[in-house]
Structure 1
Amino acid sequence: MDNITALGGDVYEIDTRMAGYSGITAGYLILGDRPCLVETGTSTSAPIVRDALASLGVGPQDLATVVVTHIHLDHAGGVGDIASFFPNAQIVVHEKGARHLADPSRLMASARMVWGDRLDTLFGELSPTEAERIVALGDTGAIDLGNGRTLNSHYSPGHAKHHVGLIDSGTGDLYVGDAAGVYLPQTGDLRPATPPPDFDLRTALDSIALFGALGPQRLLFSHYGPVDAVQETLERSAEELRIWVDLTRQAHAEGVDLDHAVAMVRERTKERYTALKSDDETAEQFELLSGAASNVAGIIHWLDRVSP
């Protein structure tokens, strides 16, 4: 299938074709004795992910574990559907996200407030998962991949209070979710993801530092794909966060409303990203993944909390 890329070490990247786009959200299959899916993508992507797993030999009875880095709908919106396609799989999530997978009603209501009618085309509906199938992680945890190989989770909030990074003992791959921002492989651009309501600068920088301290061999971005230049990329990730926060803080201090603050920050950062100078489709993809409006709103929400 043309949406599967072998990354070595029995790891396969699956393009979940979010909202019909390519290169927006990746799921990853670790194909060991106990096959494990990292990130499900959205609910509307779930059949695509199921078919990709089937083509890699993972049938309905074979998937052992599904892990999500956090419960935002582009990463975990498909959990309920994937759980029903693979009835033996345990569903692993940070403890702060577990109840929302069992009862998604509050999560879906707040998502609908943000996205309105676009919710259905972008994400679809997160279906509930039986509580007894959910494994809730604390600050650290280990997921058995079989043959002595483990996927070790590390609590990494800042982007979201229910976020974990996951490092594979077999490959040294670190699944960074959104905690290191959004990477665009076509252009090598990296941009932060700082949505409301959970963004917190200090916590986000601490999580990036933790990722560096874990000594990963490679970073696997949910948006999007593998990156070998680990330390350089994590440094860039921290730098981007600081720049967006500084610019938003300036705009906010000038007393402008949100729309004007977004326009100012967008204008002052656009030279940093090749994607915004390339074709419209790449620029649109980048904006969907790490929207300036969402980023600035999240930073302002945090500024109001820490220094009202």
Structure 2
Amino acid sequence: MDTTITPLGGDVYEIDTRMAGYSGITAGYLILSDRPCLVEPGTAGSAPVVRRALEDLGVGEKDLATVVVTHIHLDHAGGVGDIAEMYPDAEVVVHEKGARHLASPERLMRSARMVYGDRLDTLFGELKPTGADRIRAVDDTGVIDLGGGRRLESYHSPGHAKHHVGLLDSRTGDLYVGDAAGVYVPETKDVRPATPPPDFDLDSALDSLRRFRELGPQRLLFAHYGPVTEVEETLERSAEELRVWVDAVRDARDEGLDLDHAVAMVRDRTRERYVVLQEGTDPELTEKYELLSSAASNVAGIMHALDRHA
């Protein structure tokens, strides 16, 4: 079996989707049930990696029943169009606020290119359109049939993005949290916030975390990165980090700092909270998690939210 695949029990397999060539930065998950389901296909550049993993797990092009994304950011959904081409019988499930962007991704790609410039091609690649007849949109809740009485239940969980859903496996109690609980660093057990513009909203994000707790999951499966069994502690830490960052950015904003100076202040104030940023940590580990959840992106998202509410 390829090293990109890690069995997690309950017929669930973690797939390292190797975003931008990094290992351990983005995870997709295959639920190898009667109706196989892929959660989070990753970037367009990850599609060949995912296909090889599914082949190794015995899932052929006619076997995959469903592809589900927690939200349409390119590190999660950039490969949907490619995977839809590779698996022509698979239904694509997404929240209704993101569905049109999978069918017609031009606007999403323009916005992404404005943010990332030439780095877009290296980091994510191009999101290809998926036929509208292949897409099923869900609203506040939805159900994905996994066969044999097993199902994934989707729950709208905005805050990180307005088109975000969490996914609860009825058989295992696994909750696929996407980015709604932030970024988990398995090497150091850090939980870092993910608050990018333009959708971040603190109240919605905290409400989503409360909803996750009420679902009573047995395990959290992070897209960044991997399984976590300390459910209550991790969700509490996620909420705490959001509050700390918003308070820090609010202070910077009240001092009239521009974005660069606000980032410097917030980075200095929060650095000690994360082992991954401490001296002596593997520089590549620090680099890849700064790529995923950079201080600049987090501060910009919070600034945007504070300006909006003001």
TM range (shorter): over 0.9
1: CA distance between counterparts of 2:127 and 2:171?
A: 32
Query: 1:306 is matched with which residue?
Result: 309
2: CA distance between counterparts of 1:171 and 1:288?
A: 31
SS of 1:45 mapped into structure 2: helix
1: CA distance between counterparts of 2:289 and 2:106?
A: 29
Query: 1:83 is matched with which residue?
Result: 84
Deviations 1:57-96 (CA, angstroms, capped at 9, x unpaired): 0010000000000000000000000000000000000000
Alignment partner for residue 284 of structure 1, among 251, 273, 287? Answer: 287
1: CA distance between counterparts of 2:288 and 2:247?
A: 25
After superposition, residues 243-254 of structure 1 pair within 5 angstroms as 243-254=244-255
After superposition, residues 1-308 of structure 1 pair within 5 angstroms as 1-277=2-278, 278-307=281-310
SS of 2:84 mapped into structure 1: helix
Counterpart of 2:305 in structure 1: which amino acid? W
Counterpart of 1:286 in structure 2: which amino acid? Y
2: CA distance between counterparts of 1:64 and 1:280?
A: 40
1: CA distance between counterparts of 2:98 and 2:55?
A: 28
Counterpart of 2:286 in structure 1: which amino acid? A
2: CA distance between counterparts of 1:161 and 1:103?
A: 18
Tell me by how many angstroms 1:12 deviates: 0.1
Counterpart of 1:298 in structure 2: which amino acid? G
Q: Which runs of 4+ in 1 moved over 4 A?
A: none
SS of 1:298 mapped into structure 2: helix
2: CA distance between counterparts of 1:9 and 1:100?
A: 32
SS of 1:44 mapped into structure 2: helix
Counterpart of 2:244 in structure 1: which amino acid? I
Tell me by how many angstroms 1:169 deviates: 0.1
Counterpart of 1:36 in structure 2: which amino acid? C
1: CA distance between counterparts of 2:265 and 2:126?
A: 34
Counterpart of 1:235 in structure 2: which amino acid? E
1: CA distance between counterparts of 2:81 and 2:178?
A: 19
Deviations 1:175-222 (CA, angstroms, capped at 9, x unpaired): 000000000000101000000000000000000000000000000000
2: CA distance between counterparts of 1:110 and 1:93?
A: 20
SS of 2:44 mapped into structure 1: coil
2: CA distance between counterparts of 1:271 and 1:286?
A: 15
Deviations 1:94-151 (CA, angstroms, capped at 9, x unpaired): 0000000000000000000000000000000000000000000010000000000000
SS of 1:162 mapped into structure 2: coil
Tell me by how many angstroms 1:265 deviates: 0.5
1: CA distance between counterparts of 2:109 and 2:124?
A: 10
Gaps of 5+ in 2: none
Tell me by how many angstroms 1:49 deviates: 0.3
2: CA distance between counterparts of 1:240 and 1:17?
A: 27
Determine what percentage of the aligned residue pairs are the same residue. 75
SS of 1:141 mapped into structure 2: strand
Tell me by how many angstroms 1:286 deviates: 1.3
Tell me by how many angstroms 1:279 deviates: 1.8
Gaps of 5+ in 1: none
1: CA distance between counterparts of 2:284 and 2:249?
A: 26
1: CA distance between counterparts of 2:282 and 2:4?
A: 22
1: CA distance between counterparts of 2:222 and 2:290?
A: 17
Tell me by how many angstroms 1:42 deviates: 0.1
Q: With the length of structure 1 as denominator, give the TM-score of the two structures.
A: 0.99
